[in-house]
Amino acid sequence: MNANPAFADLPPRAVFFDLDGTLVDSAPDMAAAVNELMARYGLAPHSLEAVRGMIGHGVEKLIERAFAAHSLALGLEDQSASREQMNEIYGGHLTQLTTLRPGAGSALTAARKAGMRTGVVTNKPEGFSRIVLAHFGLSDELDVVIGGDAGHLKKPAPDMLLAACHACGCSSAQAVMVGDSMADVGAARAAGMRCIIVRGGYTELAAEDLGADRVIDVLDQLESVFLR
């Protein structure tokens, strides 16, 4: 990996991680929930890969894309009902099929040992996020967790990242966002924050085309990027 001027003054004071597609691969559990929802509406299931492409921007967008794939658009009342059903279904099996992405635990541990504040900033509901993080033993490695229902505009708006910076006592210029999608890059750019993308997440674009400052293959490569 070549040196990048954007990281010349690292290590940063804080590093914030996306959750779905970055720290964990939650697509199998999400796909199972989506397909149970589809069945309730008498619709055919979606493949795992199709659901991977639908993830991003929160549960509302996931549901919208799942129905749109069947050429259906829900009215406001049905949107609310389907969201409640999706949360009920998914909340019942948050960690049955979800796995930790390679290097996730070691990356958090290394960042903490280097004196950095750490956090998760995700469009996923905060309660669900905390359950997933606790399941994988990551909660104690985090200073802040901000979910999509915490009252801030969701990524790619910068609000959640700025709130994380405030919680960690740093400026956005002193922090780095680690994610897997355009929403993560967009939020980081809007917040004035550097961004690293990890391959293999939930994005239709190639990792190199997302516009991040750095692309890595696995999370444990973060140590060679800014823990030097």
Catalytic residue among 18, 29, 180, 184: 18
Burial per residue of 12-40, b for 16 or more beta-carbon CB atoms within 10 angstroms, e otherwise:
bbbbbbbbbbbbbbbbbbbbbbbbbbbee
Alpha helices in the chain (DSSP H): 27-40, 48-54, 59-68, 76-91, 104-113, 126-135, 159-168, 182-191, 222-226
Please confirm whether the linkage preceding 11 is cis (ω < 30° from 0): yes
Query: Which structure tokens are listed for 169?
Result: 């006592």
3-state secondary structure of 20: strand
* Closest to 114 (Cα-Cα) out of 204, 15, 4, 6: 15
Residues 6+ apart with CB under 8 A from 135: 94, 95, 98
φ/ψ of 116, rounded to 5, equals -85, 150
Quick check: is 18 catalytic? yes
Tokens 């795992």 sit on residue: 48
d(CA 225, CA 118): 16
What are the residue numbers of the active site?
A: 18
